[in-house]
Structure 1
Amino acid sequence: MIDFEVKKEILKRLDGIEKKFGVRILMAIESGSRAWGFASPNSDYDVRFIYAHDKDWYVAVDLEDKRDVIEFPIVDEIDLNGWDVRKALKLFWKSNPAFVEWIQSPVTYIEQGNFREDALSLLPDIYSVERGIYHYRSMAKTNYRGYLRDALVPLKKYFYVLRPLFSIKWLEKYGSVAPIEFHKVLELVEDPELLETIHQLLEKKKISEEKMLAPKISVLNNYIETELNRLEDIKVPKAQRVTEMAKLNELLHSVLA
């Protein structure tokens, strides 16, 4: 899925990050369209990673003031962005969709120790289906209203709306975390016309530039508006129980041991 030379360069930059910042990368994966399965020829490489400092870094009066992200400008279509493990686990507790998707990515650059495996094992206990539905609805709503209601629209944005909407269907049907690969959630689509339209759009996106504009697609817009109306009254559920945070603390301690 990833060109050998590109992967080599990504690993080189990740190694440089460890040395420059004095951190240990626990996992590094591909996020975005290349992981989801609908990349364009010139799509960026969205490299996301979780890292840890030495344990003494976390024992500090000013811990909350310390920077807990590492990020760089995009160079040669490689976008590097990482979170400190403590930040990542706090977001995991809130069922943050980015973190939940990162640990499921089918494209792995680095995996050190058991962090990713242990995080995946906690998904059934930590992940809130209700919060997942709310997050995905917000993604779909924001991208639809921001990009897909003009006469000419960026075709790639359809997937940034359809994938979260189909993920919601997965959550509603199975009551468990939705897979991040688009073809897996697409299996839930039963309408033949809708499915054929999406397949045609997929083929077009694979050979089109990222910023390509084209007339909006009424079949897709009608479906999206219907689903967003159906999901309009979703409320944010309360935060998880203290016992769930305890499990995340155990995972953090195991990383820093």
Structure 2
Amino acid sequence: MNLLIQEQIAKVFTVHKGIPLFYIESGSRLWNIASPNSDYDVRGFHLQSQEQYYDFRKHRDVIEVMDGDFDFVSYDLDKMFGLLAQGNPNTYEWIRAHLIYFNALPDWSSFSKELTNHLNFSNLYYHYFSLAKTHWKLLASGNKFTYKVVFYCLRGLLSADIARQGILPELTVEKLFDQFDTNFPVLSMAKESLERKQQELETQEVAEAERGSMVRVIQEYMSSMESNQPRREDKAESLERMLREYNFQLKNQFYR
């Protein structure tokens, strides 16, 4: 499938102007929880063509393509680095992804390691906790109390808990589970929900009799985390300096 995805990426840049730089698999396939019918969520970034870059008019900074199960989003370099400078957790997941389809970046290993060292754990915590709360609202409303929603809520909470401790949450869900030393109700519930998902029962509604105890467990876990939130960090200056230097290096290489 890698070769097919690489061909799709190449096809995108026969239609859209730009220089492809870096593309990975995001979402459920990255987390190793994909269903047989899951899309390929390809994410990454590109350089604008020289014509676009030197043009006095501003060009769109995103390329988006949806073709069957090929879901492609590419940011131009300046937008991508702007998001990294802000500590955007989604883009840091892209940087950390192990499913890489295309990489034309020089000194990638050292650069990505440095980026990860600048990761803001408080941003990461609030990102995952916010994702969990979004799914929690669906559960609390009772309108979509499915195993899939339960799982996504719990994955967010578990990832937030690890980030709160100043540790990088693993992206693949099995490794995330292994970051906890002991089993406890939320972890057990997450494992059970994942098992249902793997059995293709993810859209199944949770039985009414089970919902009350699940809600209590989730509420208690969320409350304990809200009362012990991490301190906000500030690594902006050194991060911006590193991104600026690498940005210059890339443009000097590709636009010379």
Q: TM-score, normalised by structure 1?
A: 0.83
Question: Matches of 1:115 and 1:61 in 2, distance apart?
Answer: 31
Q: Does 1:128 align with 2:120?
A: yes
**Alignment correspondent of 1:21:** 16
Q: 2:63 aligns with which of 64, 70, 75?
A: 70
Task: Give 1:10 deviation, angstroms.
Answer: 2.1
Question: Is 2:85–2:236's contact at 8 Å kept on the other side of the alignment?
Answer: no
Pick from 188, 191, 206 the counterpart of residue 214 of structure 1. 206
**Contact preservation (8 Å) 2:138, 2:144:** no
Once the two structures are superposed, the pairs formed by residues 160-239 of structure 1 within 5 Å of their partners are: 160-173=152-165, 175-187=166-178, 188=180, 190-208=182-200, 211-215=203-207, 217-218=211-212, 220-232=214-226, 234=229, 237=232
Residues 35-71 of structure 1: per-residue CA shift (max 9 Å, x gap): 10111222221111211124563445544xx211111
Indicate conservation of the 8 Å contact 1:153/1:214, yes or no. Answer: yes
Other-structure match for 2:105: 113
Q: How does 1:53-92 map to 2 (within 5 A)?
A: 53-54=48-49, 57-59=52-54, 61-63=56-58, 66-73=59-66, 75-92=67-84
2:242 to 240, 247, 252: 247
Letter in structure 2 aligned against 1:191: N
CA distance in 1, matches of 2:200, 2:68: 19
- The answer for unaligned runs of 5 or more in structure 1 is none
* Aligned length, in residue pairs: 248
- Asked whether the 8 Å contact 1:104–1:179 carries over to 2, the reply is no
Q: Once the 2 structures are TM-superposed, how far is the Cα of residue 193 of structure 1 from its aligned partner?
A: 4.8
Write out per-residue CA displacement over residues 76-96 of structure 1, whole angstroms, 9 at most, x where no aligned residue: 322111111111111111221
Task: Give yes or no for contact 1:54–1:256 (8 Å, CA) kept in 2.
Answer: no
Match of 1:103 among 70, 95, 104: 95
Deviates most, 88-97 or 20-29: 20-29
Compare relative contact order (CA 8 Å, sep 6+) and give the higher one, 1 or 2: 1
Pick from 85, 98, 102 the counterpart of residue 93 of structure 1: 85
Task: Report the 3-state secondary structure (helix = DSSP H, G, I; strand = E; otherwise coil) of the residue aligned with 2:98.
Answer: coil
Question: Structure 1 residues 143, 248: CA separation in 2 closer, same or farther (over 3 Å shift)?
Answer: same
Secondary structure in 1 aligned to 2:102? strand
- Equivalent residue, structure 2, for 1:155: 147
Pick closer, same or farther for the CA change 1:212–1:251 going to 2, 3 Å.
farther
Q: Identity of paired residues, percent? A: 25
SS at match of 1:190: coil
Q: Is the 8 A contact 1:94 1:239 kept in 2?
A: no
Query: How far apart, in 2, do the equivalents of 1:252 and 1:56 lie?
Result: 18
Aligned residues: CA RMSD: 2.7
Deviations 1:162-200 (A, max 9, x none): 222222222233x24322111122121623554444333
- Structure 1 window deviating more from structure 2 (232-241 vs 23-32): it is 232-241
Q: Normalising by structure 2, report the TM-score.
A: 0.83
Structure 2 unaligned segments of length 5 or more: list them: none
* 2:133 aligns with one of 136, 141, 144: 141
* Cα distance in 1 for residues equivalent to 2:56 and 2:109: 31
